[in-house]
Structure 1
Amino acid sequence: MYVHLQLHVQGRLAEIHLNRPNVRHALSRALMREITACARDLSDRTDIDVVILSGDARCFSAGADLKDANAWADDSLSTVQRRDIAGTGFRMCKAWEEMPQITIAAIEGYAVGGGLALSLACDWRVLAQDAFVSLPEIALGIPLTWGTIARLVNLLGPAKAKRLTILCERIGAPEALAMGLVDYVSDKGQALARAQALAAQTLAMPAATMRMSKESVNAAATALNHATSYMAHDQIALAASSPESRAARDQALG
Protein backbone atom coordinates (compact mmCIF):
# COMPACT_ATOMS: atom_id res chain seq x y z
CA MET A 1 0.00 0.00 0.00
CA TYR A 2 2.83 2.39 0.89
CA VAL A 3 6.26 2.68 -0.71
CA HIS A 4 8.10 4.68 1.94
CA LEU A 5 6.17 3.64 5.06
CA GLN A 6 5.67 0.42 6.97
CA LEU A 7 2.32 0.11 8.74
CA HIS A 8 1.62 -2.52 11.39
CA VAL A 9 -1.70 -2.83 13.21
CA GLN A 10 -2.13 -4.94 16.31
CA GLY A 11 -5.45 -4.63 18.04
CA ARG A 12 -6.18 -0.96 18.72
CA LEU A 13 -2.56 0.12 18.18
CA ALA A 14 -1.05 1.14 14.84
CA GLU A 15 2.70 1.55 14.35
CA ILE A 16 4.08 3.49 11.39
CA HIS A 17 7.77 3.34 10.55
CA LEU A 18 9.37 5.76 8.11
CA ASN A 19 11.16 3.71 5.48
CA ARG A 20 13.77 5.64 3.53
CA PRO A 21 16.82 4.35 5.43
CA ASN A 22 19.34 5.13 2.69
CA VAL A 23 18.67 8.86 3.12
CA ARG A 24 18.00 8.81 6.88
CA HIS A 25 14.24 8.96 6.31
CA ALA A 26 14.52 12.39 4.68
CA LEU A 27 11.08 13.80 4.01
CA SER A 28 10.69 13.91 0.25
CA ARG A 29 7.44 15.14 -1.23
CA ALA A 30 6.53 11.53 -2.04
CA LEU A 31 7.12 10.43 1.55
CA MET A 32 5.22 13.40 2.97
CA ARG A 33 2.25 12.65 0.74
CA GLU A 34 2.25 9.06 2.02
CA ILE A 35 2.50 10.22 5.65
CA THR A 36 -0.43 12.57 5.06
CA ALA A 37 -2.51 9.89 3.36
CA CYS A 38 -1.75 7.42 6.14
CA ALA A 39 -2.84 9.90 8.80
CA ARG A 40 -6.11 10.57 6.97
CA ASP A 41 -6.78 6.87 6.43
CA LEU A 42 -6.18 6.04 10.09
CA SER A 43 -8.28 9.01 11.20
CA ASP A 44 -11.31 7.33 9.64
CA ARG A 45 -10.80 4.13 11.64
CA THR A 46 -12.71 3.74 14.88
CA ASP A 47 -10.97 0.46 15.72
CA ILE A 48 -7.58 2.17 16.31
CA ASP A 49 -7.04 4.42 19.31
CA VAL A 50 -3.25 4.96 19.47
CA VAL A 51 -0.73 5.52 16.67
CA ILE A 52 3.05 5.35 17.11
CA LEU A 53 5.32 6.99 14.54
CA SER A 54 9.03 6.11 14.39
CA GLY A 55 12.07 5.88 12.16
CA ASP A 56 14.63 3.21 12.96
CA ALA A 57 17.42 2.55 15.46
CA ARG A 58 19.68 5.10 13.74
CA CYS A 59 17.36 8.09 13.50
CA PHE A 60 13.81 9.36 13.33
CA SER A 61 14.30 11.66 10.33
CA ALA A 62 16.97 13.95 8.90
CA GLY A 63 14.25 16.44 7.93
CA ALA A 64 13.04 17.77 4.61
CA ASP A 65 14.78 16.29 1.59
CA LEU A 66 16.85 19.21 0.28
CA LYS A 67 16.96 17.63 -3.18
CA ASP A 68 13.31 18.63 -3.43
CA ALA A 69 13.96 22.15 -2.15
CA ASN A 70 14.70 23.80 -5.48
CA ALA A 71 11.05 23.33 -6.48
CA TRP A 72 10.14 25.96 -3.88
CA ALA A 73 11.94 28.54 -6.00
CA ASP A 74 11.54 27.07 -9.48
CA ASP A 75 10.58 29.99 -11.71
CA SER A 76 9.37 27.62 -14.42
CA LEU A 77 6.45 26.64 -12.18
CA SER A 78 3.38 28.77 -11.63
CA THR A 79 2.83 30.49 -8.30
CA VAL A 80 -0.03 28.10 -7.60
CA GLN A 81 2.25 25.10 -8.21
CA ARG A 82 5.01 26.49 -6.02
CA ARG A 83 2.60 27.26 -3.19
CA ASP A 84 1.20 23.74 -3.42
CA ILE A 85 4.69 22.22 -3.22
CA ALA A 86 5.69 24.50 -0.34
CA GLY A 87 2.53 23.54 1.53
CA THR A 88 3.18 19.78 1.48
CA GLY A 89 4.78 19.71 4.92
CA PHE A 90 2.13 21.98 6.40
CA ARG A 91 -0.64 19.66 5.22
CA MET A 92 1.24 16.63 6.54
CA CYS A 93 1.68 18.07 10.03
CA LYS A 94 -1.89 19.36 10.13
CA ALA A 95 -3.20 15.90 9.22
CA TRP A 96 -1.27 14.40 12.13
CA GLU A 97 -2.29 17.11 14.55
CA GLU A 98 -5.95 16.56 13.68
CA MET A 99 -5.96 12.78 14.09
CA PRO A 100 -8.55 11.73 16.69
CA GLN A 101 -6.27 9.01 18.02
CA ILE A 102 -3.49 9.63 20.52
CA THR A 103 -0.24 9.88 18.53
CA ILE A 104 3.25 9.19 19.89
CA ALA A 105 6.58 9.88 18.17
CA ALA A 106 9.38 7.49 19.15
CA ILE A 107 12.74 9.11 18.39
CA GLU A 108 16.12 7.38 18.28
CA GLY A 109 19.31 9.13 17.17
CA TYR A 110 17.90 12.47 16.09
CA ALA A 111 14.92 14.31 14.69
CA VAL A 112 16.13 17.27 12.66
CA GLY A 113 14.21 20.07 10.95
CA GLY A 114 11.11 18.65 9.33
CA GLY A 115 11.56 15.45 11.35
CA LEU A 116 11.19 17.39 14.58
CA ALA A 117 8.36 19.42 13.04
CA LEU A 118 6.47 16.21 12.28
CA SER A 119 7.00 14.90 15.81
CA LEU A 120 5.65 18.16 17.22
CA ALA A 121 2.38 17.49 15.44
CA CYS A 122 2.03 14.33 17.54
CA ASP A 123 0.55 14.36 21.02
CA TRP A 124 3.63 13.03 22.81
CA ARG A 125 7.30 12.53 22.03
CA VAL A 126 9.64 9.87 23.44
CA LEU A 127 13.34 10.64 22.92
CA ALA A 128 16.17 8.19 23.53
CA GLN A 129 18.70 9.28 26.15
CA ASP A 130 21.54 9.68 23.64
CA ALA A 131 19.45 11.37 20.93
CA PHE A 132 19.11 15.04 20.01
CA VAL A 133 16.75 17.35 18.16
CA SER A 134 17.36 20.55 16.21
CA LEU A 135 15.77 23.00 13.80
CA PRO A 136 18.46 24.11 11.30
CA GLU A 137 16.14 25.82 8.81
CA ILE A 138 17.41 29.38 9.27
CA ALA A 139 21.00 28.20 8.79
CA LEU A 140 19.81 26.78 5.45
CA GLY A 141 18.34 30.12 4.43
CA ILE A 142 14.68 29.16 4.84
CA PRO A 143 12.14 30.09 7.53
CA LEU A 144 10.69 27.49 9.86
CA THR A 145 7.25 26.68 8.49
CA TRP A 146 4.78 23.75 8.49
CA GLY A 147 2.95 25.40 11.41
CA THR A 148 5.89 24.53 13.65
CA ILE A 149 6.44 27.94 15.22
CA ALA A 150 2.87 28.00 16.54
CA ARG A 151 3.32 24.54 18.04
CA LEU A 152 6.62 25.56 19.62
CA VAL A 153 5.05 28.64 21.19
CA ASN A 154 2.20 26.50 22.53
CA LEU A 155 4.66 24.05 24.08
CA LEU A 156 7.52 26.26 25.21
CA GLY A 157 6.51 29.92 25.15
CA PRO A 158 7.89 32.62 22.83
CA ALA A 159 11.45 32.94 24.19
CA LYS A 160 12.34 29.25 23.90
CA ALA A 161 10.56 29.05 20.55
CA LYS A 162 12.78 31.88 19.26
CA ARG A 163 15.88 30.18 20.67
CA LEU A 164 15.16 26.90 18.92
CA THR A 165 14.12 28.57 15.68
CA ILE A 166 16.82 31.25 15.38
CA LEU A 167 19.93 29.72 16.99
CA CYS A 168 19.58 26.26 15.38
CA GLU A 169 21.02 24.58 18.48
CA ARG A 170 21.24 20.85 19.00
CA ILE A 171 19.20 20.00 22.07
CA GLY A 172 20.03 16.77 23.87
CA ALA A 173 17.46 14.56 25.54
CA PRO A 174 17.83 15.82 29.14
CA GLU A 175 17.47 19.46 28.11
CA ALA A 176 14.65 18.68 25.68
CA LEU A 177 12.76 17.00 28.51
CA ALA A 178 13.45 19.82 30.95
CA MET A 179 12.16 22.50 28.57
CA GLY A 180 9.07 20.51 27.62
CA LEU A 181 10.03 19.82 24.03
CA VAL A 182 9.67 16.07 24.60
CA ASP A 183 7.54 14.23 27.14
CA TYR A 184 9.56 11.12 27.98
CA VAL A 185 13.20 10.05 27.78
CA SER A 186 14.06 6.39 27.31
CA ASP A 187 17.25 4.37 27.46
CA LYS A 188 19.22 4.15 24.23
CA GLY A 189 17.45 1.89 21.77
CA GLN A 190 14.28 1.80 23.85
CA ALA A 191 12.27 4.74 22.50
CA LEU A 192 9.85 2.50 20.62
CA ALA A 193 9.45 0.16 23.62
CA ARG A 194 8.75 3.17 25.88
CA ALA A 195 6.21 4.45 23.34
CA GLN A 196 4.57 1.04 23.27
CA ALA A 197 4.31 1.03 27.06
CA LEU A 198 2.78 4.51 26.93
CA ALA A 199 0.37 3.27 24.28
CA ALA A 200 -0.69 0.37 26.50
CA GLN A 201 -1.31 2.80 29.37
CA THR A 202 -3.39 4.98 27.06
CA LEU A 203 -5.38 2.06 25.67
CA ALA A 204 -6.49 1.19 29.19
CA MET A 205 -8.54 4.41 29.20
CA PRO A 206 -12.08 4.69 27.77
CA ALA A 207 -11.64 5.38 24.06
CA ALA A 208 -14.49 7.83 23.51
CA THR A 209 -13.60 10.00 26.52
CA MET A 210 -9.96 9.98 25.47
CA ARG A 211 -10.86 11.28 22.01
CA MET A 212 -13.13 13.95 23.44
CA SER A 213 -10.40 15.14 25.79
CA LYS A 214 -7.79 15.35 23.04
CA GLU A 215 -10.16 17.37 20.89
CA SER A 216 -10.86 19.79 23.74
CA VAL A 217 -7.16 20.31 24.51
CA ASN A 218 -6.32 20.84 20.84
CA ALA A 219 -9.16 23.31 20.41
CA ALA A 220 -7.77 25.43 23.24
CA ALA A 221 -4.11 25.08 22.28
CA THR A 222 -4.38 25.60 18.53
CA ALA A 223 -7.08 28.26 18.28
CA LEU A 224 -4.67 30.82 16.81
CA ASN A 225 -2.38 28.43 14.93
CA HIS A 226 -3.89 29.04 11.49
CA ALA A 227 -3.76 32.81 11.93
CA THR A 228 -0.01 32.62 12.56
CA SER A 229 0.83 29.97 9.95
CA TYR A 230 -1.25 30.47 6.82
CA MET A 231 1.41 32.62 5.08
CA ALA A 232 4.10 29.97 5.52
CA HIS A 233 3.79 28.72 1.92
CA ASP A 234 4.61 32.18 0.61
CA GLN A 235 7.39 32.81 3.13
CA ILE A 236 9.25 29.66 2.17
CA ALA A 237 8.86 30.29 -1.58
CA LEU A 238 10.11 33.87 -1.18
CA ALA A 239 13.05 33.00 1.06
CA ALA A 240 14.08 29.94 -0.94
CA SER A 241 14.56 32.04 -4.08
CA SER A 242 17.15 34.35 -2.50
CA PRO A 243 20.84 33.95 -3.40
CA GLU A 244 21.85 33.41 0.25
CA SER A 245 19.28 30.67 0.64
CA ARG A 246 20.38 28.90 -2.54
CA ALA A 247 24.02 29.11 -1.42
CA ALA A 248 23.21 27.71 2.01
CA ARG A 249 21.34 24.73 0.52
CA ASP A 250 24.06 24.08 -2.06
CA GLN A 251 26.64 24.02 0.75
CA ALA A 252 24.51 21.63 2.82
CA LEU A 253 24.16 19.28 -0.14
CA GLY A 254 27.92 19.34 -0.64
Structure 2
Amino acid sequence: MTTRQFVKIEKGLGPQGRIAVVRFERGDSVNALSQQAMRELRDVPRDFEDDLETSVVVLTGSAKVFCAGFDLKDPEGRARDKLSLGERRHQQRLGPKMCRAWQEMDQVTIAAIEGHCIGGGAALAVALDFRTCGRSAHFRIPEIELGMNMSWGSIPRMLALMGPARTKQAVILASDRIGAAEALEWGLVEKVVDDGQALAASMAFAERIARQPPIPVRMTKTTVNRLTYALDDLGAHMDADQNVLTGLTEDYVEGTSAFREKRKPVFKGR
Protein backbone atom coordinates (compact mmCIF):
# COMPACT_ATOMS: atom_id res chain seq x y z
CA MET A 1 0.00 0.00 0.00
CA THR A 2 1.23 3.48 -0.89
CA THR A 3 2.29 5.60 2.09
CA ARG A 4 1.41 9.28 1.76
CA GLN A 5 2.27 12.14 4.08
CA PHE A 6 -0.67 14.45 3.45
CA VAL A 7 -3.41 12.31 1.90
CA LYS A 8 -5.45 9.46 3.36
CA ILE A 9 -7.91 7.24 1.52
CA GLU A 10 -10.76 5.31 3.10
CA LYS A 11 -12.69 2.90 0.87
CA GLY A 12 -15.67 0.62 1.38
CA LEU A 13 -18.10 3.18 2.82
CA GLY A 14 -21.82 3.65 2.19
CA PRO A 15 -24.20 1.37 0.28
CA GLN A 16 -22.43 -1.83 -0.74
CA GLY A 17 -19.14 -0.16 0.13
CA ARG A 18 -19.26 1.96 -3.01
CA ILE A 19 -18.07 5.25 -1.49
CA ALA A 20 -14.51 6.36 -0.76
CA VAL A 21 -13.32 9.44 1.14
CA VAL A 22 -10.01 11.13 0.34
CA ARG A 23 -8.74 13.49 3.05
CA PHE A 24 -6.10 16.09 2.24
CA GLU A 25 -4.71 17.43 5.52
CA ARG A 26 -1.33 19.03 6.19
CA GLY A 27 -2.06 19.57 9.86
CA ASP A 28 -2.12 23.37 9.77
CA SER A 29 -4.62 26.16 9.19
CA VAL A 30 -3.59 26.66 5.55
CA ASN A 31 -3.58 23.26 3.82
CA ALA A 32 -1.53 24.61 0.93
CA LEU A 33 -0.35 22.70 -2.12
CA SER A 34 3.35 22.01 -1.81
CA GLN A 35 5.06 20.04 -4.56
CA GLN A 36 4.85 16.90 -2.42
CA ALA A 37 1.17 17.47 -1.67
CA MET A 38 0.43 17.87 -5.38
CA ARG A 39 2.31 14.69 -6.23
CA GLU A 40 0.28 12.80 -3.65
CA LEU A 41 -3.02 14.22 -4.90
CA ARG A 42 -2.00 13.55 -8.51
CA ASP A 43 -1.39 9.91 -7.68
CA VAL A 44 -4.65 9.31 -5.78
CA PRO A 45 -6.70 8.59 -8.94
CA ARG A 46 -4.31 5.75 -9.76
CA ASP A 47 -5.61 3.96 -6.65
CA PHE A 48 -9.02 3.86 -8.31
CA GLU A 49 -8.05 2.95 -11.89
CA ASP A 50 -8.79 -0.77 -11.44
CA ASP A 51 -11.38 -0.28 -8.69
CA LEU A 52 -14.75 -1.48 -10.00
CA GLU A 53 -16.30 -1.47 -6.53
CA THR A 54 -16.08 2.26 -5.80
CA SER A 55 -18.69 4.44 -7.53
CA VAL A 56 -18.15 7.77 -5.75
CA VAL A 57 -15.08 9.52 -4.33
CA VAL A 58 -15.48 12.42 -1.88
CA LEU A 59 -12.48 14.75 -1.55
CA THR A 60 -12.27 16.90 1.57
CA GLY A 61 -9.70 19.03 3.36
CA SER A 62 -9.47 19.62 7.09
CA ALA A 63 -12.47 20.45 9.23
CA LYS A 64 -11.85 24.21 8.83
CA VAL A 65 -10.07 24.64 5.50
CA PHE A 66 -10.19 22.99 2.10
CA CYS A 67 -7.03 24.36 0.49
CA ALA A 68 -5.13 27.66 0.33
CA GLY A 69 -3.72 26.90 -3.10
CA PHE A 70 -0.12 26.77 -4.27
CA ASP A 71 2.34 26.93 -1.40
CA LEU A 72 4.45 30.03 -2.10
CA LYS A 73 6.63 29.19 0.91
CA ASP A 74 7.45 25.67 -0.23
CA PRO A 75 11.25 25.51 -0.71
CA GLU A 76 10.90 23.07 -3.60
CA GLY A 77 8.38 25.32 -5.33
CA ARG A 78 10.38 28.51 -4.76
CA ALA A 79 13.47 26.86 -6.21
CA ARG A 80 11.84 27.04 -9.65
CA ASP A 81 13.22 30.58 -10.05
CA LYS A 82 16.65 28.98 -10.40
CA LEU A 83 15.59 26.26 -12.82
CA SER A 84 16.21 26.15 -16.56
CA LEU A 85 13.28 26.80 -18.91
CA GLY A 86 12.87 23.09 -19.57
CA GLU A 87 12.90 22.29 -15.86
CA ARG A 88 10.37 25.05 -15.17
CA ARG A 89 8.00 23.71 -17.83
CA HIS A 90 8.27 20.22 -16.38
CA GLN A 91 7.60 21.38 -12.82
CA GLN A 92 4.74 23.65 -13.88
CA ARG A 93 2.88 20.70 -15.39
CA LEU A 94 2.45 19.00 -12.03
CA GLY A 95 -0.62 21.07 -11.13
CA PRO A 96 -2.37 20.51 -14.48
CA LYS A 97 -1.63 16.77 -14.30
CA MET A 98 -3.10 16.64 -10.79
CA CYS A 99 -6.33 18.34 -11.85
CA ARG A 100 -6.69 16.35 -15.06
CA ALA A 101 -6.17 13.08 -13.18
CA TRP A 102 -9.13 13.93 -10.93
CA GLN A 103 -11.28 15.06 -13.84
CA GLU A 104 -10.65 11.84 -15.73
CA MET A 105 -11.51 9.46 -12.88
CA ASP A 106 -14.21 6.94 -13.78
CA GLN A 107 -15.84 7.44 -10.40
CA VAL A 108 -18.15 10.37 -9.68
CA THR A 109 -16.22 12.90 -7.58
CA ILE A 110 -17.50 15.37 -4.97
CA ALA A 111 -15.58 18.15 -3.21
CA ALA A 112 -16.63 18.80 0.40
CA ILE A 113 -15.39 22.33 1.13
CA GLU A 114 -15.08 24.12 4.46
CA GLY A 115 -13.30 27.44 4.99
CA HIS A 116 -11.18 28.89 2.24
CA CYS A 117 -10.67 27.41 -1.20
CA ILE A 118 -8.06 29.52 -2.96
CA GLY A 119 -6.12 29.46 -6.23
CA GLY A 120 -4.90 25.93 -6.87
CA GLY A 121 -7.46 24.65 -4.35
CA ALA A 122 -10.23 26.13 -6.50
CA ALA A 123 -8.56 24.70 -9.60
CA LEU A 124 -8.71 21.26 -8.03
CA ALA A 125 -12.30 21.72 -6.87
CA VAL A 126 -13.59 22.64 -10.34
CA ALA A 127 -11.92 19.52 -11.76
CA LEU A 128 -14.37 17.40 -9.74
CA ASP A 129 -17.96 16.64 -10.69
CA PHE A 130 -19.76 18.30 -7.76
CA ARG A 131 -18.97 20.78 -4.99
CA THR A 132 -20.67 21.27 -1.60
CA CYS A 133 -19.50 23.98 0.80
CA GLY A 134 -20.23 25.37 4.24
CA ARG A 135 -21.92 28.77 4.56
CA SER A 136 -18.74 30.49 5.73
CA ALA A 137 -16.63 29.01 2.94
CA HIS A 138 -15.16 31.38 0.40
CA PHE A 139 -13.31 31.13 -2.88
CA ARG A 140 -10.61 33.36 -4.34
CA ILE A 141 -8.47 33.21 -7.48
CA PRO A 142 -5.40 35.31 -6.56
CA GLU A 143 -3.04 34.40 -9.39
CA ILE A 144 -3.34 37.64 -11.38
CA GLU A 145 -2.60 39.72 -8.28
CA LEU A 146 0.54 37.61 -7.87
CA GLY A 147 1.60 38.58 -11.38
CA MET A 148 0.79 35.29 -13.09
CA ASN A 149 -1.99 33.74 -15.14
CA MET A 150 -4.60 31.31 -13.82
CA SER A 151 -3.50 27.93 -15.10
CA TRP A 152 -3.85 24.19 -14.41
CA GLY A 153 -6.55 23.96 -17.09
CA SER A 154 -9.02 25.58 -14.72
CA ILE A 155 -10.38 28.40 -16.88
CA PRO A 156 -12.26 26.08 -19.29
CA ARG A 157 -13.69 24.23 -16.27
CA MET A 158 -14.81 27.44 -14.60
CA LEU A 159 -16.21 28.63 -17.92
CA ALA A 160 -18.34 25.48 -18.15
CA LEU A 161 -19.67 26.08 -14.64
CA MET A 162 -20.10 29.85 -14.50
CA GLY A 163 -20.06 31.23 -18.04
CA PRO A 164 -17.66 33.82 -19.50
CA ALA A 165 -18.55 36.95 -17.50
CA ARG A 166 -18.39 35.35 -14.05
CA THR A 167 -15.19 33.49 -14.96
CA LYS A 168 -13.55 36.75 -16.01
CA GLN A 169 -14.80 38.44 -12.85
CA ALA A 170 -13.54 35.65 -10.59
CA VAL A 171 -10.10 35.52 -12.22
CA ILE A 172 -9.41 39.18 -13.05
CA LEU A 173 -10.67 40.68 -9.78
CA ALA A 174 -8.17 38.61 -7.87
CA SER A 175 -8.65 40.24 -4.46
CA ASP A 176 -12.39 39.63 -4.36
CA ARG A 177 -13.65 36.86 -2.15
CA ILE A 178 -16.48 34.81 -3.58
CA GLY A 179 -18.69 33.85 -0.65
CA ALA A 180 -20.73 30.66 -0.50
CA ALA A 181 -23.97 32.39 -1.51
CA GLU A 182 -22.30 34.01 -4.53
CA ALA A 183 -20.60 30.75 -5.45
CA LEU A 184 -23.99 29.03 -5.45
CA GLU A 185 -25.60 31.78 -7.51
CA TRP A 186 -22.74 31.78 -10.01
CA GLY A 187 -22.74 27.98 -10.39
CA LEU A 188 -19.31 27.50 -8.84
CA VAL A 189 -20.85 25.16 -6.24
CA GLU A 190 -24.01 23.09 -6.33
CA LYS A 191 -24.96 23.09 -2.65
CA VAL A 192 -24.39 25.24 0.45
CA VAL A 193 -24.93 23.78 3.92
CA ASP A 194 -24.33 24.78 7.53
CA ASP A 195 -20.69 25.10 8.52
CA GLY A 196 -19.18 21.79 9.48
CA GLN A 197 -21.73 19.83 7.42
CA ALA A 198 -20.08 19.85 3.97
CA LEU A 199 -18.69 16.34 4.34
CA ALA A 200 -21.90 14.91 5.79
CA ALA A 201 -23.95 16.50 3.00
CA SER A 202 -21.50 15.24 0.38
CA MET A 203 -21.72 11.74 1.84
CA ALA A 204 -25.53 11.86 1.74
CA PHE A 205 -25.39 12.88 -1.92
CA ALA A 206 -22.77 10.21 -2.59
CA GLU A 207 -25.06 7.57 -1.09
CA ARG A 208 -27.78 8.48 -3.57
CA ILE A 209 -25.34 8.05 -6.45
CA ALA A 210 -23.89 4.85 -4.97
CA ARG A 211 -27.33 3.23 -5.05
CA GLN A 212 -27.54 3.66 -8.82
CA PRO A 213 -26.26 0.91 -11.19
CA PRO A 214 -22.49 1.52 -11.45
CA ILE A 215 -21.95 0.84 -15.15
CA PRO A 216 -24.36 3.42 -16.63
CA VAL A 217 -23.26 5.91 -13.97
CA ARG A 218 -19.69 5.69 -15.22
CA MET A 219 -20.80 5.82 -18.84
CA THR A 220 -22.90 8.92 -18.21
CA LYS A 221 -20.07 10.77 -16.46
CA THR A 222 -17.68 9.95 -19.28
CA THR A 223 -20.13 11.08 -21.96
CA VAL A 224 -20.95 14.37 -20.23
CA ASN A 225 -17.27 15.13 -19.60
CA ARG A 226 -16.22 14.30 -23.16
CA LEU A 227 -18.87 16.62 -24.58
CA THR A 228 -18.22 19.41 -22.06
CA TYR A 229 -14.43 19.41 -22.32
CA ALA A 230 -13.99 18.31 -25.94
CA LEU A 231 -12.29 21.55 -26.98
CA ASP A 232 -10.42 22.26 -23.74
CA ASP A 233 -6.98 21.43 -25.08
CA LEU A 234 -7.31 24.23 -27.64
CA GLY A 235 -7.50 26.78 -24.85
CA ALA A 236 -5.69 25.14 -21.97
CA HIS A 237 -2.68 23.43 -23.53
CA MET A 238 -0.69 26.64 -23.39
CA ASP A 239 -1.53 27.80 -19.88
CA ALA A 240 1.45 26.03 -18.31
CA ASP A 241 3.77 27.85 -20.71
CA GLN A 242 1.96 31.11 -19.98
CA ASN A 243 2.60 30.49 -16.29
CA VAL A 244 6.30 29.99 -16.95
CA LEU A 245 6.33 33.15 -19.09
CA THR A 246 4.57 35.32 -16.52
CA GLY A 247 6.95 33.90 -13.90
CA LEU A 248 9.79 35.66 -15.75
CA THR A 249 8.21 39.13 -15.48
CA GLU A 250 8.96 41.95 -13.07
CA ASP A 251 5.28 41.98 -12.14
CA TYR A 252 5.55 38.38 -10.92
CA VAL A 253 8.46 39.32 -8.66
CA GLU A 254 6.48 42.32 -7.39
CA GLY A 255 3.28 40.32 -6.86
CA THR A 256 4.88 37.48 -4.92
CA SER A 257 7.08 39.89 -2.93
CA ALA A 258 4.04 41.95 -1.98
CA PHE A 259 2.25 38.80 -0.86
CA ARG A 260 5.10 37.78 1.43
CA GLU A 261 5.49 41.34 2.74
CA LYS A 262 1.72 41.71 3.24
CA ARG A 263 1.37 44.86 1.16
CA LYS A 264 -0.47 45.89 -2.01
CA PRO A 265 1.52 45.26 -5.20
CA VAL A 266 2.33 47.99 -7.71
CA PHE A 267 2.40 46.55 -11.24
CA LYS A 268 4.18 48.15 -14.20
CA GLY A 269 3.34 45.78 -17.04
CA ARG A 270 6.92 44.58 -17.32
Q: Same fold (TM over 0.5)?
A: yes
Aligned partner of 1:187 among 189, 194, 201:
194
Aligned partner of 1:21 among 3, 10, 27:
27
Q: Secondary structure at the match of 1:127?
A: strand
Alpha-carbon displacement from aligned partner over 1:211-236 (angstroms, at most 9, x marks no partner): 00000000110011111111112111
Residues 1:170 and 2:177 are matched in the alignment = yes
- Percent identity of paired positions between Structure 1 and Structure 2: 40
1:73 maps to 81
1:117 maps to 123
Change over 3 Å in CA distance of 1:72–1:148 after alignment to 2: farther
Alpha-carbon displacement from aligned partner over 1:99-143 (angstroms, at most 9, x marks no partner): 000000000011011001100000000010111111111011110
Q: How far is the alpha carbon of 1:73 from its aligned partner?
A: 3.4
Q: Secondary structure at the match of 2:69?
A: coil
Q: How far is the alpha carbon of 1:72 from its aligned partner?
A: 4.1
Q: How far is the alpha carbon of 1:19 from its aligned partner?
A: 1.7
1:47 maps to 53
- The two structures, once aligned, show a CA RMSD in angstroms of 1.2
Query: Distance between the aligned counterparts of 1:131 and 1:23, measured in 2?
Result: 14
1:159 maps to 165
Query: Distance between the aligned counterparts of 1:110 and 1:42, measured in 2?
Result: 27
Residues 1:34 and 2:40 are matched in the alignment = yes
Aligned partner of 2:151 among 145, 148, 152:
145
Supply the AA of the counterpart residue of 1:150.
P
Q: Secondary structure at the match of 1:31?
A: helix
Instruction: Could you tell me which runs of 5 or more consecutive residues in structure 2 were left unpaired when the two chains were aligned.
Output: 262-270
Residues 1:62 and 2:80 are matched in the alignment = no
Query: Distance between the aligned counterparts of 1:166 and 1:251, measured in 2?
Result: 18
119-128 vs 78-87, which moves further: 78-87
2:99 maps to 93
Q: Secondary structure at the match of 2:73?
A: helix
Alpha-carbon displacement from aligned partner over 1:3-40 (angstroms, at most 9, x marks no partner): 11111112211111112122621001111111011112
Supply the AA of the counterpart residue of 1:73.
D
- Conserved? CA contact 2:30–2:67, under 8 Å: yes
Supply the AA of the counterpart residue of 2:69.
G
Instruction: Could you tell me which runs of 5 or more consecutive residues in structure 1 were left unpaired when the two chains were aligned.
Output: none
Query: Distance between the aligned counterparts of 1:138 and 1:21, measured in 2?
Result: 28
Query: Distance between the aligned counterparts of 1:145 and 1:2, measured in 2?
Result: 26
Query: Distance between the aligned counterparts of 1:148 and 1:61, measured in 2?
Result: 15
Q: Secondary structure at the match of 1:66?
A: coil
Runs in 1 of length 4+ with deviation above 6 angstroms?
none
Query: Distance between the aligned counterparts of 1:163 and 1:71, measured in 2?
Result: 31
Query: Distance between the aligned counterparts of 1:227 and 1:56, measured in 2?
Result: 35
Q: TM-score, normalised by structure 1?
A: 0.96
Change over 3 Å in CA distance of 1:135–1:22 after alignment to 2: same
1:3 maps to 5
Query: Distance between the aligned counterparts of 1:233 and 1:112, measured in 2?
Result: 18
1:241 maps to 248
Q: Secondary structure at the match of 1:26?
A: coil
Aligned partner of 2:136 among 130, 148, 154:
130
Change over 3 Å in CA distance of 1:252–1:23 after alignment to 2: farther
- Conserved? CA contact 1:73–1:237, under 8 Å: no
Query: Distance between the aligned counterparts of 1:182 and 1:134, measured in 2?
Result: 13
